[in-house]
Structure 1
Amino acid sequence: MVLFSQAFAAAVLLAAGVVAHPGGNTNREILRRQAHLDHPERRNVASCKRDLVESGWVREQHIRREARLHELRVAAGFAKEHEIVRRDPAEAEEEYGASAACTLDPESTEGPYWVMGELIRSDVLTGEKGAITHLDINIIDTSGCKPVTDAYVELWGSNATGVYTGVVAKGNGDGSNTAVATNALRGVQPTGKNGTATFTTVIPGHYVGRTNHLHTIIHHGAQLLANNTIRGGTISHVGQFYIEQNFLAQVEATAPYNTNKQAITKNAVDPLFNMGKQGGDDPVMKISLIGSKIEDGLYATIDIGVNPKAKQNPQAVNLWTAKGGQPIPNSPWTGYPDTCKYCGFRPPMEKKDVLEEQ
């Protein structure tokens, strides 16, 4: 029944002919997600609940996250050192895999605005304003049910008014080149001993055809270069994170989000969000207020289940350089959304584009 429901959902979305970005068709991305859901080797974080609880990892992460949120509140003047409020770790262990910030392994599109060559850095704000978010991303190897301690996590998203930096494209805000020279809200971080990568970013703004979302790519075996970027290795995961709709509405009411004139697409009608919720996955971040209001800052967490042996083949549109984002020759996203290879309906080229075992 679950497989039937997933296939039915995919068929409905394909028939709708919905768009991923202005002028772009999501059929290719929907089929890619469906192929991932149907793969016999697929496991998500919930599949590892017993192992992660018995190893003590869930308890350790719960305690660490409580401490991190308290640290942020103390630094912002909203709490004192001795005032930390603790929750019974046993409750967190019981609920693990059944709530937001867990159970995530949705393969999704890299989209038309991925820029390769981003810097290794935790704070990716570069002057951007918005709902400042301290984001902890945990990477779990679902083939062995252990944290991944030697990966690089890449993160990027639009700014508060729905514009991606490092690219020029029709439909990317006003389509001008005002953002091509900056790499704001883009960066890469290594995972630590608990499989955690940490970023400071903003809740992304909305733009035509998509609900608000962050993009991520998980790199394995990449080489750290002298210019503070990475090269080589393999990519096991291409995904997107989302925000709960009621909270998102509160964010959109604050400045500068409330100056964004682009049409809003809600989670409920976003095709990739709905596909991301299939198969027991939950691509919604768990978000806590640092103070009493959104403007005081946010702390967000999410876990990603990956198979490190998987090989994805996302395609970037630009390469980040000292001169800003530079076009990559023959990128299938070049000309988006009018003349690119990926503009219209494209099924996955090969099975290995979804999951390939070594």
Structure 2
Amino acid sequence: MVQFSQAFAAILLATGVVAHPGGNINKEIMRRQAHLDHPQRRTVQSCKRDLVESGWVREQHMRREARLHELRVAAGFAKPHELVRRDPAEAEANYGEAAACTLDPEATEGPYWVSGELIRQDILTGEKGVVVHLDINVIDTTGCKPVTNAYVEMWGCNATGVYTGVAAKGNGDGSKSAITTNALRGLQPTAQNGTATFITLIPGHYVGRANHLHTIIHHGATLLPNNTISGGTISHVGQFYVDQTMLTEVEKTTPYSTNKQTQTKNAQDALFNMGKQGGDDPVLKISRIGSKVEDGLYATIDVGVNPKARQNPQPVNMWTDKGGIAIPNSPWAGYPDSCRYCGGGFRPPTE
């Protein structure tokens, strides 16, 4: 069990830092610490032997190489016969040394989760920026097998640090212009190999947080005729990050370079630093499709979950054909000035 450390205490005391403008991330940090201290916590590394012996690691390594090559061929940066493979044994030996995992949430849902999003792979909806083809592998760390019956939900801000589907002070200019679109939001089912695939953007930055993507893992949900899901349970609420060197390159491109908000780098982000503890690594593994980031990127990450865990994140809005509408009595309503979750109070994870 990981004990509360001096480093953690320093982070907590220093959190005049905000999760979003006006917010306080003490709650998110304490939830992450609760995850690290959980007596039954298991990581992807705990499943290394089983995943290697079952052939899953080798299969995923070869599939990811083929997928990157496919993207390069489609973009004109490679020929079909030019696929070069790395020794799968090397990938097996190194697997799990730095892999994202969770039993309890890595972080909270934040004030801009919009429920009722559509099942779709391409979630760009006209937004411009550095396109990333993202594969998320979901692994059951209690049985060391891929999770094949889940829905992965993904959302992030656009290149200039604005979340769609919501209107709030601090979300860009605070206007309602973004509330009528669901760009950069959606869900995908996990396939037989446990993989959910999205086409999205490298997120921009906003005051107080490093660039990051949000994710929620749903289990046992029902697919509805309108291409959304209902019911089921949620085992994981987390955030993914991007290597700082690549972010520096991305932020020099348009429209990221037009963002006038103060940028918080990974090393300055308390939640990023907490996410790196306990053997976890919430940083996407990214490969270039071409020579420049503008040519597109291919990213992967493995997420370990306990499908029986029960989390209760709270949306601020629900997506409809008329745009985002407020959820009655949402604890995020009024963010960042008057919501019930605006302060630093700790809301403990549920099981």
Answer yes or no: is the 8 Å Cα contact 1:125–1:202 preserved in 2. Answer: yes
Alignment of 1:318-337 (within 5 A): 318-337=317-336
Cα deviations by residue, 1:135-176 (Å, 9 ceiling, x for unpaired) = 000000000000000000000000000000000000001111
Shift of 1:300: 0.3
Alignment of 1:159-178 (within 5 A): 159-178=158-177
Counterpart for residue 124 of structure 2: 125
Counterpart for residue 80 of structure 2: 81
Distance 2:5 2:108 in 1: 18
Distance 2:72 2:30 in 1: 43
Q: Secondary structure at the match of 1:295?
A: helix
Distance 1:9 1:236 in 2: 28
Answer yes or no: is the 8 Å Cα contact 1:46–1:103 preserved in 2. Answer: no
Counterpart for residue 210 of structure 2: 211
Shift of 1:307: 0.2
**TM-score of the pair, normalised by structure 2:** 0.97
Distance 1:345 1:129 in 2: 34
Counterpart for residue 9 of structure 1: 7
Alignment of 1:139-218 (within 5 A): 139-218=138-217
Distance 1:266 1:149 in 2: 35
Shift of 1:7: 3.1
Counterpart for residue 50 of structure 2: 51
Shift of 1:16: 1.0
**TM-score of the pair, normalised by structure 1:** 0.96
Q: Secondary structure at the match of 2:5?
A: helix
Cα deviations by residue, 1:91-126 (Å, 9 ceiling, x for unpaired) = 000111124xx2433621100000000000000000
Alignment of 1:1-358 (within 5 A): 3-4=2-3, 7-17=5-15, 18-99=17-98, 102-105=99-102, 107-349=106-348, 353-354=349-350, 356=351
Distance 1:85 1:292 in 2: 17
Distance 2:24 2:69 in 1: 43
- Aligned CA-pair RMSD: 1.0
Cα deviations by residue, 1:305-332 (Å, 9 ceiling, x for unpaired) = 0000000110000000011000001101
Distance 1:241 1:131 in 2: 16
Distance 2:139 2:230 in 1: 22
Between 340-349 and 223-232, report the one with greater CA deviation. 340-349
Answer yes or no: is the 8 Å Cα contact 1:7–1:34 preserved in 2. Answer: no
One-letter amino acid of the structure 1 residue matched with residue 269 of structure 2: D
Cα deviations by residue, 1:283-303 (Å, 9 ceiling, x for unpaired) = 000001101111110000000
Shift of 1:9: 2.8
Q: Secondary structure at the match of 1:49?
A: helix
Aligned residue pairs, count: 348
Answer yes or no: is the 8 Å Cα contact 1:207–1:263 preserved in 2. Answer: yes
Unaligned runs of 5+ in 1: none
One-letter amino acid of the structure 2 residue matched with residue 326 of structure 1: I
Shift of 1:347: 1.1
Q: Secondary structure at the match of 1:121?
A: coil
Fraction of identical pairs, as percent: 75
